[in-house]
Amino acid sequence: MNYKEIIQKLPYTKPFLFVDELLHIDENGAEGSYTFDANSDFYKGHFKDNPVTPGVILTECCAQIGVVALGIYLLNNEEVTMGENVQIGLSSSEMEFLVPVFPNEKVVVSSEKEYFRFHKLKCKIKMHNSEGKLVCKGTISGMLKSNKNG
């Protein structure tokens, strides 16, 4: 399965897809990037006259690249027949935010798998901006399974 196929299997579409490209993925983690479009609706009110990307959106970007894309890759490697959609559920997240992300800023998310068992995936996540500064870090866990495997 190539990187574009993994992105196509993500259960999101614009405007809620926060993955532009996958840079690397293997059984131990994933890395990908996203550029936050200045025309996104959430910038209109967050914050007045000084838009920044909300932490919940940063967390979602981290989850899509670092957990869901990795989970699709891992499910495929388990030779599970992948349907068009993957059922997912975020089970926990603990994130620390260090610097803001502004409109039109590109970020790179990397994850390191802590474990994947019984379809629960837990990863350490880091997001860096284009200057290489650490934007946020933490852990995110989720449950993933193919619609075809019951």
pLDDT in tens, 67-112: 999 999 998 866 544 455 567 888 899 999 999 999 999 999 999 9
Reduced to 3 DSSP states, what percent helix, strand and coil does the chain have, rounded to the nearest 5? Answer: 25, 40, 35
- Tell me what pLDDT residue 147 has: 64
pLDDT, greater one: 67 or 150: 67
Tokens representing 77 are 């490697």
- Please tell me the CATH superfamily of domain 3-149, with its number: Hotdog Thioesterase (3.10.129.10)
| Domain coordinates in residue numbering, the chain | 3-149
Between CA 54 and CA 70 the distance in angstroms is: 23
d(CA 139, CA 59): 10
Count of CB atoms situated within 10 Å of the CB of 41: 9
Between 109 and 146, the higher pLDDT residue = 109
Query: Would you say 22 and 32 are in contact if contact means Cβ atoms under 8 Å apart?
Result: yes
Residues annotated as part of the active site:
46
Instruction: Look up the pTM and report it.
Output: 0.91
In DSSP terms, which residues pair with 33 in a beta bridge? 21, 108
d(CA 115, CA 21): 24
Q: How far apart are CA 49 and CA 44, in angstroms?
A: 9
Report residue 120 as tokens.
Answer: 């629960």
Asked if residue 124 has pLDDT above 90, the reply is yes
Question: pLDDT band at residue 48, thresholds of 50, 70 and 90?
Answer: confident
What is d(CA 140, CA 148) in angstroms, rounded to the nearest whole number?
A: 25
Which residues 6+ apart lie within 8 Å of 8 measured at CB?
A: none
Q: Which residue has the tokens 């979602």?
A: 60
Nearest Cα neighbor of 70 from 40, 34, 112, 100 is 112
